[in-house]
Amino acid sequence: MQHFKSDPPPAMQKRQSQDWKVIQNLLPYLTAYKARIIFTLLCLVVAKAANLGVPIMLKKIIDAMSIQTTAQALLVVPVSLIVGYGLLRLSASLFAELRELIFSKVTEQAVRQVGLQVFNHLHALSLRFHLSRQTGGMTRDIERGTRGIQSLISFSLYSIIPTLIELAMVLGYFLFAYDIWFVLVTFIALLCYVVFTVVVTEWRTHFRREMNQLDSKANQNAVDSLINFETVKYFGNEQYESARYDVNLKKYAQAAVKSQKSLAFLNFGQQTIIVIGLVCILGLASQGVASGKLTIGDLVLVNVLMIQLYIPLNFLGVLYREMKQSLTDIDRMFHLLETDQEIADVPYAPALVIHSPALGPHVKFENVSFHYESNRGILNQLSFEILPGQTTAVVGHSGAGKSTLARLLFRFYDVQSGAIYIDGQAIKSVRQDSLRQAVGIVPQDTVLFNDTIGFNIGYGKPGASQADIEAAARAAQIHDFIMRLPDAYNTDVGERGLKLSGGEKQRVAIARTLLKNPALLVFDEATSALDSETERSIQKELNELAKNRTTLIIAHRLSTITHAHQILVMAEGQIIERGTHESLLMQGQRYAEMWRAQQSQSEA
């Protein structure tokens, strides 16, 4: 088998260096609790010393009994030996439990801190990252990563380190009480066992990695299918989704079978080495008893010590594999932390200052050029201003770059050239949290949390009182509807708000934005997905919301922006017309054509 070479291949060397990197990344989360770690290690040493003392005490009892007949044995065995035997067993258990009790806080705090850091980092990543990632696979990576931290610490502290300490104690006792051959046989057997386990487990790692990848892919497909439940139903594709999911499950099952075969080979090889080692050490002890150098108690002691060593070693393959898997899982989670934030605040960035909060800020796009992909330009040298307290509308055909303006205002992306200013402050130079606090949006597709209506409205201002939430709902003309529901504001809206109609969801979005009370408002085709009657009803609320406030309206239906102080007509990332509704109609160009086309459709 060419995989079992003494020199690890480059891929294995790379994996080993990654493992050490993961451990180095994890250590700072643990070393914050130095006192607990030191006390835990002391408990561990005491527990193992007591564990070693148990068979030694048993040897003394057997030797004491063997010098007398069975009837006389109990009379000559000192009671202290029997009591000491019981106390040592109790001590081993006591200090083992203390070790786990003391260290449990360290483990849980490390998991909490890493999980929270990953969660915060994911929220700090750019929109580009979140548009390209798959939620099911990413959440599975985080779940496995946090579980991997618990497993790695648990296996290390409760299995690997105790076994190493016990091994050192046993070898030391063999050297002290017997001769060097007991040490050499034990050490060589254990060394062969460990090397065999590590090499074979390394070989098996790619099977586990393949299983993880297939598991993530199956989970991604399942989550994606369930999120798009309605689309699946619309097209009657339940069987298609089931077949697609089953393909991934079959591949996972095939990889699992390969992994199980390699595990069987590992287990049999381990048992072979254990048996050979045990036979050799018992052979040495038997010779010692036969020659009179050792007692029956020594034979029992050697056997018990070897079994005590081999019992945890029986699980070394599983432990090593699980530790390697934990390191892989943690590495994938830490890889998320290493993902470039892309949109980051400059060092010591100040907060955005709105000069006139009651009126709204002055917004300026200055020679802005932007593209998502280098070979596909979106905005080209775009310049315009929105005066404080005024409304500017942007219209144009799909792909003109209208919705990109909103994303740039929120700084979901940075422009390639030019700059965007709010009250004279370049948005790249201020803190993102202050920028987004100053800007509110009512989007076309309102996505709600799977929680209550009250929670979703209150999300605009976390910590808002119930009175403030209800006031915002009244202003958005949705309070009466909510109060007619059986659970009122405690009504659950379902996944992505699917239990509400389009108009109801939009009113919740309006109420949420009203509660936020932003200085700058953005309506991103906020009513284009609604029917005409609902649109007219909601449009009044939007106009009221925009009154005396700096507002950017990205519109599809021109009838909703006739009141705007300025209308910009975009095509291919540039402004081709600008003016009021009346002046643009008088020019008789693109805007006038769009107006006539929409009027004809509404009359039809």
* 3-state secondary structure labels for all residues of 487-543: CHHHCECCHHHCCCCHHHHHHHHHHHHHHHCCCEEEEECCCCCCCHHHHHHHHHHHH
Type of residue at 576: I
Q: Rg (Cα) of the chain, in Å, rounded?
A: 35
- Residue 7: pLDDT over 60: no
- Residues of the chain above pLDDT 70, percent: 87
Which residue, among 111, 102, 194, has the nearest Cα to 148 in the 3D structure? 111
User: What residue numbers bound the domain in which 200 lies?
Assistant: 111-338
- Contact (CB, 8 A) for 160 and 194: no
Domain boundary among 275, 303, 338: 338
Instruction: Give the pLDDT of residue 129.
Output: 65
Domain boundary among 323, 338, 353: 338
In a domain, 268, yes or no: yes
In a domain, 262, yes or no: yes
Residues 326, 377 within the same domain: no
Residues 122, 269 within the same domain: yes
Residues 277, 387 within the same domain: no
* 3-state secondary structure labels for all residues of 285-312: HHHHHHHCCCCHHHHHHHHHHHHHHHHH
User: What DSSP assignment string belongs to 255-289?
Assistant: HHHHHHHHHHHHHHHHHHHHHHHHHHHHHHHHHHH
In a domain, 39, yes or no: no
Instruction: Give the pLDDT of residue 11.
Output: 47
Residues 327, 414 within the same domain: no
In a domain, 99, yes or no: no
Please compute the mean of the pLDDT values over residues 72-83 and round it to a whole number: 64
Residue 221, Cα to own-chain centre: how many angstroms?
18
Residues 271, 129 within the same domain: yes
Residues 377, 288 within the same domain: no
Type of residue at 573: G
- Lowest mean pLDDT of 65-79, 316-330, 338-352, 524-538, name the range: 65-79
In a domain, 77, yes or no: no
Q: What's the first-to-final CA gap in the chain, in angstroms? A: 77
Instruction: Give the pLDDT of residue 421.
Output: 93
Per-residue pLDDT of 404-448, as tens digits, reads 888 888 888 888 889 999 998 998 999 988 888 888 888 877 778
Per-residue pLDDT of 172-198, as tens digits, reads 888 888 888 888 888 888 888 888 888
In a domain, 503, yes or no: yes
Tokens of 398: 């799909």
- Residue 8: pLDDT over 60: no
Please compute the mean of the pLDDT values over residues 78-98 and round it to a whole number: 81
Residues 324, 370 within the same domain: no
Please compute the mean of the pLDDT values over residues 217-233 and round it to a whole number: 79
* pLDDT band, very low/low/confident/very high, at 2 (cuts 50, 70, 90): very low
- Residue 204: pLDDT over 70: yes
In a domain, 80, yes or no: no
Residues 331, 252 within the same domain: yes
- Residue 71: pLDDT over 60: no
Per-residue pLDDT of 342-392, as tens digits, reads 778 888 889 988 888 888 899 999 999 888 877 777 888 889 999 998 889
- Residue 167: pLDDT over 50: yes
In a domain, 84, yes or no: no
Q: What distance in Å separates the CA atoms of residue 211 and residue 219, rounded to the nearest whole number? A: 12
Residues 420, 481 within the same domain: yes
What's the structural domain count of the chain? 2
Please compute the mean of the pLDDT values over residues 313-342 and round it to a whole number: 72
- Please give the mean pLDDT across all residues of the chain: 79
Per-residue pLDDT of 446-456, as tens digits, reads 778 888 889 98
How many CB atoms sit inside 10 A of residue 574's CB? 15
pTM of the model: 0.62
Instruction: Give the pLDDT of residue 12.
Output: 46
Residues 298, 157 within the same domain: yes
Instruction: Give the pLDDT of residue 106.
Output: 78
Pairing state of beta strands 425-426 and 439-443? unpaired
CATH number at residue 443: 3.40.50.300
- Residue 9: pLDDT over 50: no
Residues 418, 278 within the same domain: no
CATH number at residue 266: 1.20.1560.10
Domain boundary among 338, 353, 388: 338
Residue of higher predicted confidence among 62 and 66: 62
Per-residue pLDDT of 505-559, as tens digits, reads 888 888 888 888 888 888 887 766 566 666 676 777 777 777 778 889 888 888 8
Residues 382, 292 within the same domain: no
* pLDDT band, very low/low/confident/very high, at 296 (cuts 50, 70, 90): confident
∠ CA 230-231-232 to the nearest 5 degrees? 90
